[in-house]
């Protein structure tokens, strides 16, 4: 058997995309709660959050989502039926600290996650938790300017310490920030950043990233102190960047683009800033402000490296060629003529997963964990099920390549597919972009019965898990 018998098979969700109950039991508003759905230009709102703050929209997908807050028992039972070994979920920061800057946590919020962990424990499902998944409290954005402000470190550490203490013994696998590199691409999502006219956005983004890196290292240290059994991981939106042609200017552009992503893991895994980053900041004419002690703090490195993988990308060193690149996605890319794309234009590249895994393992020599992968597609519910062969095909090909990487020698702890139960899309705010093995009857406008239905992929994944990846 290629995969170890303890391999952690499962699926992943995020609080703001599935829980709903956005003001229940004392929860405060998170930055995602002011973002509209696709129909009302979510993407525009993400890129221009000032406008989003001032606009009243008709519909906010995170407010009700799929109501996991109330359906968690039924949903976890379905995941258990598939044989899940692990469930990746995130805490809604604003359930615990509604504004973000309170001194005491909200007990009702903490109690909810106790109930979820107890439910998971019934089925021997190991929780894998993300402390912050795109849902910084809105209070911290409006009062402090989000992660550009160093004070956020203290608020985050207080929040994380509350979780680490409360769930000691119940949770062992922790991720500090979801897709930490997303702060460069969607700064509002990643860091609650809103820019002022004329300011150096690169500088603000990297300074905010520094605050997150320091916060992540502090929490890594704390997690190990509170319970030496804890395993802490970083989380990267990964996906190798290919060069467009063998022209060395393209090769160099791809290298730089890959370094831009790896920068975060370089710090979190090695414990210091890489030299290429120092040069980059210097040439861009700014410095990252370090406080005394930051260098020491950063030496608290992670135990494993987790990442999402949906796609590879292509870049060119020729500005003329780059002009053809279409936007509308966090990761713009030149089209790859060898690959098919999803209905949302994301290139489907299973071999790219093997390449990415080898690259990352070579670079860090630490265990990897694939915590997101999957196909967002339009599903049609017919006779109480969805014949989602396209999803099975996508996943089978990716799992084959994942296993090849393990054969190459990559140490891999687990695989959690994204959106194992249908939920609201982060980027587009749609329900229509579905990833799950379980169909949820709810549409882009929040209409529908909210009932759950098993798709064809449900039985398929159950077999995959039961055979530990031998039957794909």
Task: Catalog residues that contact ligand P53 under the rule CB under 6 A.
Answer: 14, 17, 178-179, 237, 308, 310, 330-331, 372, 376, 418, 425-428, 433
R_g over Cα of the chain: 21
For residues 217 and 267, what is the distance between their CA atoms, to the nearest angstrom? 9
Show Cβ contacts of residue 214 under 8 Å, excluding neighbours closer than 6 positions: 153, 294, 297, 298
CB-wise, 77 or 332, nearer to ligand P53? 332
At closest approach, how far in Å is the CB of 143 from ligand P53?
A: 25
Query: Is 372 one of the annotated active-site residues of the chain?
Result: yes
Nearer residue to ligand P53 within complex by CB, 33 or 300:
33
- Select 69 or 307, whichever has its Cβ closest to ligand P53: 307
Strand partners, 308: 237, 372
Structure token pair of residue 183: 């702060």
Question: In angstroms, what is the minimal distance from the CB of 328 to ligand P53?
Answer: 11
**Per-residue DSSP letters for 106-149?**
-HHHHHHHHHHHHHHHHTTPEEEEEEESS--BHHHHHHH-GGGS
Question: Counting beta carbons within 10 angstroms of the beta carbon of residue 197, is it exposed (0 to 12), middle (13 to 18) or buried (19 or more)?
Answer: exposed
N-term to C-term CA, the chain: 14
230 versus 428: smaller Cβ distance to ligand P53: 428
- 168 - beta bridge partners? 171
Does the CA dihedral 50-53-57-62 come out positive or negative? Answer: positive
CB of 133 to ligand P53, least distance (A): 6
191 and 197 in contact (C-beta within 8 Å)? no
Instruction: Say which residues have a Cβ less than 8 Å from residue 370's Cβ, sequence separation at least 6.
Output: 306, 307, 308, 309, 353, 357, 402, 412, 414, 415, 416
Q: How far is the CB of 60 from ligand P53 (least distance, A)?
A: 16
DSSP 326: -
Q: Which of 19, 126, 179, 372 is catalytic?
A: 372
Residue 228, helix vs strand vs coil: coil
Taking the complex as a whole, the smallest distance from the CB of residue 426 to ligand P53 amounts, in Å, to: 4
Cβ proximity to ligand P53, 15 vs 406, nearer residue: 15
Smallest gap, in angstroms, from Cβ of residue 105 to ligand P53? 24
Residue nearest to ligand P53 according to CB distances in the complex: 427
Q: Cβ closer to ligand P53: 273 or 394? A: 394
* Residues that are catalytic: 372
């Amino acid at each position: 058997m290629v995969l170890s018998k303890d391999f952690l098979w499962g699926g992943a969700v995020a609080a703001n995309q599935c829980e709903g109950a956005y003001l229940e039991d004392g929860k405060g508003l998170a930055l995602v709660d002011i973002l509209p759905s696709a129909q009302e230009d979510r993407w525009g709102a993400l890129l221009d959050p000032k406008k989003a703050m001032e606009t009243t929209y008709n519909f906010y997908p995170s407010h009700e989502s799929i109501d996991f807050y109330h359906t968690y028992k039924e949903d976890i039972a379905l995941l258990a039926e598939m044989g899940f070994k692990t469930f990746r979920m995130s805490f809604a920061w604003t359930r615990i600290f509604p504004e973000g800057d309170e001194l005491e946590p909200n007990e009702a919020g903490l109690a909810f996650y106790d109930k979820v962990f107890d439910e998971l424990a019934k089925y021997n499902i190991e929780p894998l938790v993300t402390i912050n998944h795109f849902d910084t409290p809105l209070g911290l954005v409006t009062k402090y300017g989000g992660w550009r402000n160093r004070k956020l470190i203290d608020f985050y550490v207080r929040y994380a310490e509350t979780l680490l203490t409360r769930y000691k013994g119940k949770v062992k696998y922790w991720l500090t920030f979801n897709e930490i590199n997303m702060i460069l691409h969607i700064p509002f999502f990643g860091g609650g950043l809103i820019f002022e006219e004329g300011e150096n956005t690169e500088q603000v983004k990297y300074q905010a990233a520094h605050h997150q890196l320091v916060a992540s290292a502090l929490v890594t240290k704390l997690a190990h102190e509170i319970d030496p059994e804890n395993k802490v991981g970083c989380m990267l939106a990964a996906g190798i960047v290919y060069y467009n042609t063998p022209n060395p200017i393209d090769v160099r552009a791809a290298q730089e683009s890959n370094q831009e992503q790896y920068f975060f893991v370089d710090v979190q895994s090695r414990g210091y800033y890489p030299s290429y980053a120092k040069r980059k900041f210097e040439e861009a004419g700014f410095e990252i402000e370090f406080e005394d002690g930051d260098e020491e703090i950063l030496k608290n490195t992670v135990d494993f490296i987790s990442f999402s993988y949906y796609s590879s990308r292509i870049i060119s060193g020729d500005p003329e060629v780059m002009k053809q690149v279409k936007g509308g996605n966090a990761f713009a890319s030149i089209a790859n003529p060898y690959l098919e794309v999803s209905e949302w234009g994301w290139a489907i590249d299973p071999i790219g997963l093997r390449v990415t895994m080898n690259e990352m393992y070579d670079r860090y020599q630490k265990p990897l964990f694939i915590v997101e992968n999957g196909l967002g597609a339009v599903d049609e519910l017919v006779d109480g099920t969805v014949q989602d062969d396209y999803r099975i095909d996508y996943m089978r090909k990716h799992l084959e390549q994942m296993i090849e990487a393990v054969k190459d020698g990559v140490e891999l702890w687990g695989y959690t597919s994204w959106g194992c139960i249908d939920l609201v899309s982060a980027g587009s705010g749609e329900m229509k972009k579905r990833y799950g093995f379980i169909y949820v009857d709810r549409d882009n406008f929040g209409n529908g019965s909210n009932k759950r239905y098993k798709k064809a992929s449900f039985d398929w994944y159950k077999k995959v898990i039961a055979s530990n990846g031998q039957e794909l």
